[in-house]
């Protein structure tokens, strides 16, 4: 999914290594994200490509939408509300080394919720600080854009 980075989609846990108030509604800093993955995945991609007026033989524009989710089968009921939709646009270039693309996808979601764990650096023990935690949705339009550069076709 072009709206997400590697291992950003699906189940995860959060680990806090700094002491602080873990019982209230405080905002945590220095929280590490650890994707746990899943055993099921759904992905749908659609892309419309067309030539540009500038260098029509070498450059194309692509409009796309990606839909998907990763989950642990048996943990929760998967509904259409849990699917993530990331529309976007990109440029495709034909080079002597092969196709190259630059995509910008719009992700209007907070991070996936998961348990917040506290790591005691002195003892190395993990304890659950909260049953559910997620980082907030990015506040501005520009922070919701995810840029990706890749060699090769999208699919």
Q: How many domains does the chain have?
A: 1
Question: Is there a contact between 4 and 12 (Cβ–Cβ < 8 Å)?
Answer: no
Domain that holds residue 41: 12-151
pLDDT digits (tens, 9 = 90+) for 7-66: 889 889 999 876 555 555 455 567 888 888 888 899 999 999 999 999 999 999 999 999
Is 119 within a domain? yes
Asked, for residue 89, whether it belongs to a domain, the answer is: yes
Neighbours of 3 (CB within 10 A): 27
- Could you give the CA distance from residue 85 to residue 45 in angstroms, rounded to a whole number? 10
Mean pLDDT, the chain, as a whole number?
Answer: 87
Q: Rounded distance, CA 118 to CA 16, Å? A: 5
Is 1 a domain residue? Answer: no
99 is a domain residue = yes
* Token pair for 151: 């060699």
**The predicted structure's pLDDT at residue 152:** 86
In a domain, 77, yes or no: yes
């Amino acid at each position: 999914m072009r709206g997400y980075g590697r291992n950003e989609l699906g189940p995860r846990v959060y680990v806090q290594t700094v002491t602080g108030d873990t019982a209230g509604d405080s905002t945590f800093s220095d929280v590490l994200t650890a994707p746990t993955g899943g055993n099921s995945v759904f992905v749908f991609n659609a892309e419309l490509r067309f030539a540009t007026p500038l260098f029509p033989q070498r450059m194309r524009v692509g409009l796309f939408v990606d839909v998907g989710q990763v989950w642990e089968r048996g943990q929760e009921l998967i509904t259409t509300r849990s699917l993530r939709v990331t529309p976007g646009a990109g440029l495709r270039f034909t080079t002597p080394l092969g196709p190259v693309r630059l995509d910008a996808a719009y992700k209007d979601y907070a991070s996936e919720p998961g348990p917040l764990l506290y790591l005691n650096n002195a003892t190395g023990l993990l304890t659950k600080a909260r049953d559910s935690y997620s980082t907030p949705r990015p506040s501005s339009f520009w922070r919701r854009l995810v840029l990706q550069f890749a060699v090769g076709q999208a699919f």
